[in-house]
Amino acid sequence: MELSGIELHYLVNKIISTTTSEFYVSNVSSITKNSILLKLHHPIQPDIMLMVSTKGIWITNKKYKQVEETQFVNIISREIERAKISSVSQPGSERIYFLHFVGRDDKVRILIVEIFGKGNFILCDESMKIIWILNPVEVRHRTLNTGLQYALPPNRGEDVLQTTLESMTKNLSLVAEDTEVLKWLGKSTSLPRKYVEEIISESGINTKFARDLSTEEIEIIYKKTKELTDRVLNEKNHEPSVIMDDSGVAIDASPISMSKESNIKRVDTFMEAIDQVLSNEILSIGRSLKTEETDRKILELEHDLEEQNKAKMNVLLKSKSLRSVAHDLMNLSSFGILDMNDRSVKILLEKNDSKIVQVNGINYVDLLNERVKLELSIPKFSSLLFSRAKEMERGATNIDKASDELKSRIEKLQGQTQKIHEKVQFSTLESRQWYERYRWFLTTDGHLVIGGRDASSNSAVIRKHMTEDDIVFHAEIHGSPFFLVKNAKNKENETSNYIDETAQATVSFSRAWKDGLSSGDAYWVFPNQVKKGAPTGQFLPKGSFVIEGKRNFCKGIDLKLSIGLVKIENRFTIVSGPSNAIRKRSLVCASLLPGGSDPMNLAKKLKSEFVRVISEFDSDLANYLKKVLLDDFIRVLPTGQSKIEHIERGLSVDDVKIG
């Protein structure tokens, strides 16, 4: 599939509206030499996976593996990682897009991607000077190379976004007499053939040559062109679909309903359609790269097999012809004709496209380039023909054996490529909520609580997510995380469980758990009591903050946590926190105490027990849980050793949903 300029225009505008200036590049991954994946991170909003490719640009929900090494990913990582994405743009409806990045040092980098021809990546500085280019260009109308200024290619034709009735009419006067309407409209608008054909179909015009169009017909075509362009650019008019081939593979995508639609699958958005089609193409490229050498060997063996089959057919054809001539000669002998010099023999040979030839003074019968030494006695010569036919048939059997060996080698290589193809796959990314990058849980009364995992996330919790409506918790021990109860201020005196539950989470995720303590103290304060800067002349380690004013203590809190399987929207996830809060929303729940097993061994046991409990009532969910990574269990465990107090089944599947 090739993206058109107006389809790219829609995608660029959609990405602009989705990626605000607060998004920054947290990771750059290489997929192929012509496709990279940018992970865009935001302090609050979910991460965005942006595919940047010479096939186009789109937000993907696919998880890719690298299939081709490229030097470019190292260069682009060095230049734009941690930089904010300030804008995405496109010159008119050209098949080119620009990504603008601003680093922490205000360094500007512009990544230009051309999606026509073989495609190109060009990295420029703020003055559009080329820092790096994938494919240097040296043609009559422009030269692109490191150190030179980037220049746009010459226009391919009229920009459809700027097309007017006057410009369309003017273009008509410049074309040759025999220029067809489709060709004229394509050049006048730079639209792909599928849209040009749709415009003409909707116009109801049957005129073949452009110069024969009337003024009224030109106006109709212009109107339909603008209508179609608006349908593509305006998401409100979309009826997105994926076009499938006969084997069910997505091969094209359309944002709008077309009059000539066949074998289509409706999808929710054009972005989703693009993701399906172009991701499949990238996957196909990846497979081809991984199996290039094996595919070449298969082609060679298939050619050899084809030649073997041809040889066998040729041998069998000659054998059949030899037998046919031998039978005809034997028939002559039954009438008393026994000499090969008889005229009737000559007629018979000519009838069978054979003849008598002499080589080095010896006579042969030449039949389909197969020569048999001539014997004057018809019975004796017929016997020679039968013998030669049998030799050929034995030879055909040997060819069969050789062919079987070739088939076996081909099947073995095909099996190898199949295994590689199965490995070169992508899976669907699960859309995670912003708070899932931290420790989190919902209290029994529904408050969202988030906490730090380490010094960096501790700092992020306070600096990025603390608002004046929150309540802040900390344990009375060195090595404690900060926890926030979101939107809980002025509710602390109401009948509520969130204070005790958050206090338990705070002490349990502190160093007290690793030290094997059974209880600890925590306190809570208001956001205005948390000072983000150190007092004059003092230094605060990363993740540490100064607390001023009255602290509201929660004394003698038991160190105890629970791990549960909960459902967020349409997916299941592992969450940990205070026992009452986790138990209330979990399908299956395990209570933990300090001491016992290290996180890896405990995670293995938890996963095994969760699968066992769930398999008793939902085999599909149990099979899904078997595929959940151990890391998903490990990341919710407290630091240090833990032991399972007990495991219990919780709510039904329909009752565990969060959000």
Residues 194-230 pLDDT 10s? 999 999 999 998 888 988 899 999 999 999 999 999 9
Binning pLDDT at 50, 70 and 90, where does residue 129 land?
Answer: very high
As a whole number, mean pLDDT of residues 513-538 equals 87
pLDDT score of 632: 85
**Domain ranges across the chain:** 5-144, 165-287, 295-423, 434-658
433-445 pLDDT, tens digit per residue, is 888 889 999 999 8
637: Cβ contacts below 8 Å, ≥ 6 apart: 563, 576, 592, 599, 602, 603
| pLDDT(551) > 90 | yes
Structure-model confidence comparison of residues 531 and 150, the more confident one: 150
More confident residue, 72 or 552: 552
Q: What is the CATH number of domain 5-144?
A: 2.30.310.10
CA distances from 605 to 309, 439, 614 (A): 59, 21, 14
What is the mean pLDDT of the segment spanning 348-367?
Answer: 84
Per DSSP, 621 falls in state H
Average confidence (pLDDT) over 420-447: 75
Query: Which has more confidence, 605 or 402?
Result: 605
What's the pLDDT score for residue 302?
87
Task: State the pLDDT at residue 159.
Answer: 84
Confidence of residue 346 (pLDDT cuts 50, 70, 90): confident
Angle, helix 270-290 to helix 378-423, in steps of 10 degrees: 130
Per-residue model confidence as pLDDT tens digits over 600-609: 899 999 999 9
Quote helix, strand, coil % in the chain, to nearest 5.
40, 25, 35
Model confidence at 94, in pLDDT bands (50, 70, 90)?
very high
Mean residue pLDDT of the chain comes to: 87
So what's the pLDDT on residue 393?
A: 87
Is residue 655 over pLDDT 60?
A: no
pLDDT at 413: 80
Single pTM value for the model: 0.62
Residue 493 has a pLDDT of 59
What pLDDT is stored for residue 373 in this prediction? 87
pLDDT at 561 over 70: yes
Please name the fold of domain 165-287. Answer: Helicase, Ruva Protein; domain 3 (1.10.8)
Q: Average the pLDDT over each of 77-86, 330-339, 408-417, 617-626 and give the range with the smallest value.
A: 408-417
94 alpha carbon, distance to own chain's centre: 25
Q: What pLDDT score was predicted for residue 44?
A: 67
Binned at pLDDT 50, 70 and 90, residue 406 comes out as confident
Predicted confidence at residue 195, as pLDDT, reads 92
Amino acid, res. 189:
T
Percentage above 70 pLDDT, the chain: 93
For residue 148, the model assigns a pLDDT of 96
Q: Which single residue is written with the structure tokens 């066992």?
A: 612
Residue-wise pLDDT tens digits, 151-203: 999 877 778 888 889 988 888 888 888 899 999 898 888 888 999 999 999 99
Model pLDDT for residues 315-325, shown as the tens digit of each residue: 888 888 888 88
Q: What is the pLDDT of residue 653?
A: 53
Q: How far apart are CA 45 and CA 435, in angstroms?
A: 9
Whether the per-residue pLDDT at 494 is higher than 70: the answer is: no
Question: What letter does residue 438 receive in the DSSP assignment?
Answer: S
According to DSSP H, which parts of 441-570 are helical?
455-460, 498-508, 511-514
Whether pLDDT at 53 is above 90:
yes
| Radius of gyration of the CA atoms of the chain, in A | 38
At CB < 8 A and 24+ separation, what contacts does 14-21 make? 14/59, 14/235, 14/271, 15/50, 15/57, 15/58, 15/59, 15/88, 16/87, 16/88, 16/89, 18/48, 18/59, 19/48, 19/50, 19/85, 19/88, 21/84, 21/85, 21/86
The least confident of 35-44, 46-55, 481-490 is: 35-44
Q: Read off the DSSP letter of residue 515.
A: T
